[in-house]
Amino acid sequence: MKDRKDRLTKKQLSVSMYDRGMNVVAIARLLRCEPSYVANALIEQGRIPAYVDLYTSTGPQNEDAKELEGVLKFTDADSARASVARIDQLWQRFSSERNRRGMHQCEVVVLIGRNRAIGIGKQTEAQIFADWLVARLRPTRSGSRAA
């Protein structure tokens, strides 16, 4: 019988199977886990799987996204408010620079925060993100979006 320290973890098995040509969904089925778990295990090891969902993180795709890296927190209502405040600071700066790409990235991150919070049953935290997003998407009298 193998010693416990000699056993491979699901993450190690995921990487091994992926390196042998298996796809994320097939690996997840075999290991009886979520595809996002497998994808994140691969990403942690420097692989770039052809799988993306709400719970995977491929890292920042552009310079604006780098500024938002690690800002998303929703442990409790206070951490969600702090996240939204930081994102709002960046959104305001991007808006003043007329940087639509940066503004959009802020909106995407807030939507992800809302959806992830809902997914784990944190309705209050989800509402904090949703309120910010709705306020940004509401047109002003001039027809442009709220700043």
94-113 average pLDDT score: 93
- Which H or E run contains 12? helix 10-19
- Cα separation values, 126 from 56, 103, 111, Å: 18, 20, 9
CB atoms inside a 10 Å sphere around CB 123: 9
Dist. CA 62–CA 64, nearest whole Å = 6
Please report the pLDDT score of residue 139 as a whole number: 73
Please report the pLDDT score of residue 16 as a whole number: 94
Residue 54 has pLDDT above 80, yes or no: no
Q: Out of 60-64, 122-126, 135-139, pick the least confident.
A: 60-64
Please report the pLDDT score of residue 4 as a whole number: 62
- What's the pLDDT tens digit per position in 2-41? 566 678 899 999 999 999 999 999 999 999 999 989 998 9
Please report the pLDDT score of residue 48 as a whole number: 86
- What's the pLDDT tens digit per position in 56-96? 766 556 788 888 888 999 999 999 999 999 999 999 999 99
Residue 128 has pLDDT above 60, yes or no: yes
Please report the pLDDT score of residue 5 as a whole number: 67
42-62 average pLDDT score: 78
